[in-house]
Amino acid sequence: MKITNIPNYIAWWNQLGEKKNLLEMVGKNTRRKIKQLLQITEENDLRMVVEEATDELAAKFFNVYKNFISSQKSGKVYDVLQIIREKNTVKKYKFLSLYYRGEYRGGLLFSGEKGKIATAFKCYPHQIEGLKLPIGIAYLSDYYLVLYAAKNNLARINHGRDRNIYGVNSNPGLAMYKLTVGCKPFVSKARDVEWVDFVVPDKNDRDILIFQASTKGEPIKQATLILFKTRKEEIPQVYGALKNITDLQLEVIDRKTVLE
């Protein structure tokens, strides 16, 4: 089976509008867990701060980022230090840095200009030793990023772009996370965007999620979800965030049942 005319890059935007707090953008269960996480940060000297992207801080981030990406199966390490040095005079980069008991643990590189925040690189630990976290650290970073945007009258957060065909080129969980925190998917407007075809494999170690649209900048209204690991009855639990895409036409192909 072949799926045709797939944009190779998906961009993610969070249009804040009147909303000034991430807690206003997420569901009841996620909101409860974020509140629990905020309580944990207050009680355990776990904090996030916005800092200027100095050479010293950039070097700390790069060490954490490089170690994490290098441990991934197909990770690509970008020269973050060089990118900051080349563009910092224009972009005015900042870090949303994470500290635990005074020790640097990671950060998010972003810029705020022309009425929006643009995120560049992010690397935080999945867990903090000695702490039982109710939800991922990434939610904490988005919480503070929305507060920063509201304080500085920035109306939109650009959450970067991903390679389309989630489950092959990107993690489907990444798309679900971005949808959960209020982002909407669009076809990237970048020069290197092109349309590709995809032959559905007989087997895959993850479900495959494909976003479909025909022009650059177009909001995603069509998607194909190919199940290899998830059962149909589990879709609301695993892929419930897809409902956050207004008027989405979702085709589900159940390869798991076929292969069984």
Domain assignments of the chain as residue spans, ordered by start: 1-12+162-260, 17-154
Higher-confidence position of 32 and 113? 32
| Chain-centroid distance, C-alpha 61 | 18
At residue 256, the pLDDT reads 66
Alpha-carbon span 115 to 155, nearest angstrom: 6
> Residue 141, by phi and psi: left (phi above 0), alpha (psi -120 to 50) or beta?
alpha
At residue 257, the pLDDT reads 58
Sequence-distant (6+) residues with CB within 8 A of 42 are none
Architecture of domain 17-154: 3-Layer(aba) Sandwich (3.40)
Q: What is the mean pLDDT of residues 93-97?
A: 96
- The pair of structure tokens assigned to 202 is 């007989």
Q: What is the mean pLDDT of residues 223-235?
A: 95
| Residue of 114, 152, 119, 139 whose CA lies nearest to 53 | 119
> ∠ at Cα 151 (147, 154), nearest 5°?
90
Q: For the segment 166-205, what is each residue's pLDDT rounded down to a tens digit?
A: 999 999 999 999 999 999 999 999 999 999 999 999 899 9
At residue 74, the pLDDT reads 62
- The pair of structure tokens assigned to 45 is 């000297």
Can you state the percent helix, strand and coil of the chain, rounding each to 5?
35, 30, 35
| Residue of 154, 32, 51, 62 whose CA lies nearest to 95 | 51
pTM for the full predicted model? 0.88
pLDDT tier for residue 260 given thresholds of 50, 70 and 90: very low
Alpha-carbon span 224 to 240, nearest angstrom: 14
At residue 88, the pLDDT reads 74
Longest Cα–Cα distance in the chain: 57
Q: For the segment 31-82, what is each residue's pLDDT rounded down to a tens digit?
A: 999 999 999 999 999 999 999 999 999 999 999 998 888 776 666 778 888 8
Is pLDDT above 70 for 253?
Answer: yes
> What is the CB neighbour count within 10 angstroms for residue 85?
13
